[in-house]
Amino acid sequence: MDDRVAVNRVLTPVDGTDRSIEAVEYAIAIAEKYDATLSVMYVFDEETQQTIQNDEENSDDVAEDTHAFFQRVFDRTEDTDITVSTMTVYGFSTQRKMHHPGSIILDGADQIGSDFIIVPREPEHGVLSEVAEYVLSYASQPVLSV
């Protein structure tokens, strides 16, 4: 009987902080070790979400910043065989009480079939600052908190 963990898709939620890039580095290492795909989920904070939804002037800046972060991920995986997918999600909702970053990450993990999650822990700032504990407590997948 083989008791090793099978990892086919690694999910890393990010929020643009340096701690997020550190989590991506771990995710790349895990994806390489298990020959898995990597999904990077950019979670927008409440203020950014409102900027986008209200189509304010700096929504282009948000798109640029998000694209630049994803480019950093692609640059780090350029010399690997890892397939990387990216997505953006809103971490908050004014209509749904249970719509918060932790539940969004876990719902997203289930939707894409992720079987391993790497989440930044205690970032210096950002939307994911208190999410790691929630994900660690409620995930059905193995979680590495970095």
pLDDT in tens, 102-125: 889 999 999 999 999 999 876 555
- What whole-number percentage of the chain has pLDDT above 90? 51
Say how many Å lie between the first and final Cα of the chain, rounded. 31
What's the pLDDT score for residue 24?
96
> Strand (E) positions, 1-146?
9-14, 37-44, 84-90, 116-119, 143-145
C-alpha pair distances (Å), 137 with each of 14, 53, 132: 18, 31, 8
The CATH number, out of the four listed (3.40.50.620, 3.10.20.600, 3.40.50.300, 3.30.70.20), of the domain defined by the range 9-145? 3.40.50.620
Among 124, 125, 15, 12, smallest CA distance to 62 is for: 15
Which tokens is 48 given?
């950014």
pLDDT band at 50 (very low <50, low <70, confident <90, very high): low
Q: Where are the domains of the chain?
A: 9-145
Res. 93: pLDDT tops 70: no
What's the pLDDT score for residue 1?
43
Cα distance between residue 37 and residue 132, in whole Å? 22
Contacts of 43 (CB under 8 A, 6+ apart): 13, 14, 15, 89, 90, 91, 101, 104, 105, 127, 128, 131
Cα distance between residue 27 and residue 146, in whole Å? 10
Higher confidence at residue 123 or residue 92? 92
- Contact between residue 38 and residue 12 where contact means Cβ atoms under 8 Å apart: yes
